[in-house]
Amino acid sequence: MSTDPDFTGPTTENLVFDAAEAQRRRRGSTLVRIGDHLKREWQLYAMLLPTILWLIIFLYKPMYGLQIAFKDYSIFRGVADSPWIGLEHFNTLFNNDQFLRAVKNTVIISFYSLLFGFPMPILLALMFNEVLNQTFKKSAQTIVYLPHFISSVIIAGIVITAFSPSAGIVNTVLGWLGIDSIYFLTKPEWFRPIFVGTGIWQEAGFQSIVYLAAIAGVSPTLYESAVVDGASRWQMMWKITVPSIMPTIIIMLIIRIGNILEVSFEMIILLYQPATYETADVVNTFIYRQGLQGGQYDFAAAAGLFNAVVAFVLVMTANTISKRYSRTSLW
């Protein structure tokens, strides 16, 4: 510190203050910093924008309409002006046999889809991975991917034709074996196997791409090392490939469980008929019939909300369990 009486420069206190002030100015407010960040990275945000808009327009904005689940909604009064009626629709819903049947069917169909449909793409991917002949591998992959790119309407048409009692290939083959024609699509007990089978045929190949990508990411030296250690192809598949793609399998399982109530309902609508409602009617088709065909929008909204809440709880639970036991999770 200067003791010179003529010293006119800044005092230590002033210097400290100035330094702090300069630092404060340099750091800027949160808003300024966000602004700087956006200015720097705007290209990335621009790329994100369409998705955000899509989410807002098609998923968040419609949530405004969810309130009609608790209202006596009339299209003439509009969403805002319809009177509140509390949980009345939910009461009706849980006393509605058709709804309860739809919930039961949804769970059963989903369970079968998960049980038989989930492992199938994994098995396919593992099998493709073992195929050495590249030409065979590529043609086989193309063939199993193909159904995914065909419209559900056409798939349903193919299924209906294949199971037709008069000209369908299935009944024709049964006829050769001396078995009488079966009216598959009108029999409730045949609906679920046909639906689950169709789903697997349509999607298993395409879903296997995810697992093939995961398998491609496994370091080749793991296999080389195992070869030197004396592992057979079978052992390498179970001891290296499967554990290596386990995180992917778990993530896919979580997503699948979250969507367990989202049975592909356009396929159900295309395949079911009143004769098979008993086993085929699911929550989404129930909502469709009540809401769009019956005009009971409020009641259908309540059913839809119930569906969404259950799905939300399921995905949260699956994620939490997975995070705890396998260190793998969606978030």
Partner 1 sequence: MSGVSLKGIVKAYGALQVVHGIDLEVQEKEFVVLVGPSGCGKSTTLRMIAGLEEISDGDLTIDGRHVNRVAPKDRDVAMVFQNYALYPHLNVADNIAFGLRIRKESKETIASSVEEVGGILGLTPYLERRPADLSGGQRQRVAMGRAIVRRPKVFLFDEPLSNLDAKLRTQMRAEIKRLHKRLGVTSIYVTHDQVEAMTLADRIVVMHDGRIEQIGSPMELFLNPVNTFVAGFLGSPPMNMVNARIVAGDLGPVAEFGDNKIQLDQVASLQNSVGQDVVLGIRPEFVTVADDTVPHRVSVEVDLIETLGSEALIHASLQGDPFVIRTETVGQMNVLDGISGFTIAPHLIRVFDAKTGVSLPGQAVGQ
User: Tokens 């991975």, residue?
Assistant: 129
Site for partner 1 contains 238 (CB under 8 A): no
Query: Using the rule CB under 8 A, is 134 a contact of partner 1?
Result: no
The Cα 224–Cα 72 span in angstroms is 67
C-alpha span between 304 and 298 (Å, rounded): 10
Out of 67, 152, 186, 244, the residue judged to bind partner 1 by CB under 8 A? 244
In angstroms, give the least distance from the CB of 216 to partner 1. Answer: 16
> Does 160 contact partner 1 by CB under 8 A?
no
Q: Burial, 325: exposed, middle or buried (Cβ in 10 Å; 0-12, 13-18, 19+)?
A: exposed
Q: Which of 9, 83, 86, 230 binds partner 1 (CB under 8 A)?
A: 230
Per CB under 8 A, the segment of 92-100, 113-121, 233-241, 288-296 that binds partner 1 is: 233-241
Contact call for residue 313 and partner 1 (CB under 8 A): no
Residue type, 157: G
Q: How far apart are CA 264 and CA 196, in angstroms?
A: 10
Query: Which of 16, 53, 227, 255 is the binder for partner 1 (CB under 8 A)?
Result: 227
Phi, psi of 134 (to 5 degrees): -65, -40
Question: Which residue of 58, 132, 228, 274 would you call a contact of partner 1, by CB under 8 A?
Answer: 228
Helix (H, G, I), strand (E, B) or coil at 71: strand
By beta-carbon proximity to partner 1, the closer residue of 108 and 242 is 242
Per CB under 8 A, 224 contacts partner 1: yes
The helix/strand/coil state of 166 is coil
For residues 88-120, one letter each, b for 16 or more C-beta atoms within 10 angstroms of the residue's C-beta and e for the rest, the string is bbbeebeeeeebebbbebbbebbebbbeebbeb
Cβ atoms within 10 Å of 2's Cβ, excluding its own: 10
* Residue 226 binds partner 1, judged by CB under 8 A: yes
Q: Identify the three-state secondary structure at position 205.
A: helix
- Which of 104, 137, 148, 239 touches partner 1 by CB under 8 A? 239
222 interacts with partner 1 by CB under 8 A: yes
Smallest separation, CB 221 to partner 1 (Å): 4
| CB of residue 223 to partner 1, shortest distance in Å | 9
Decide whether 222 or 308 has the Cβ nearer to partner 1.
Answer: 222
Binding segment (CB under 8 A) for partner 1, from list 65-73, 80-88, 113-121, 229-237: 229-237
Of 188, 243, 294, 295, the one binding partner 1 by CB under 8 A: 243
What six digits make up the tokens of 219? 């370091």
Q: Which two tokens stand for residue 122?
A: 């994994």
Q: Does 229 bind partner 1 (CB under 8 A)?
A: yes
CA angle 253, 257, 258 (to 5 degrees): 115
**Residue 216 binding partner 1, by CB under 8 A:** no
According to DSSP H, which parts of 28-133 are helical?
Answer: 30-55, 78-81, 88-94, 97-112, 119-130
Kindly give the interhelix angle for 134-145 and 188-216, rounded to the nearest 10 degrees.
140
Using rule CB under 8 A, residue 217 touches partner 1: no
Piece of 12-20, 84-92, 125-133, 235-243 that binds partner 1 (CB under 8 A): 235-243
Site membership for partner 1, residue 234 (CB under 8 A): no
Interaction of residue 323 with partner 1, rule CB under 8 A? no
Q: Does position 246 bind partner 1 by CB under 8 A?
A: yes
Report how far residue 205's alpha carbon sits from residue 64's, in angstroms, rounded to the nearest whole number.
38
Binding part of the chain for partner 1, among 78-86, 93-101, 158-166, 224-232 by CB under 8 A, reads: 224-232
Interacting residue ranges for partner 1, rule: CB under 8 A: 219, 221-222, 224-231, 235, 239-240, 243-244, 246
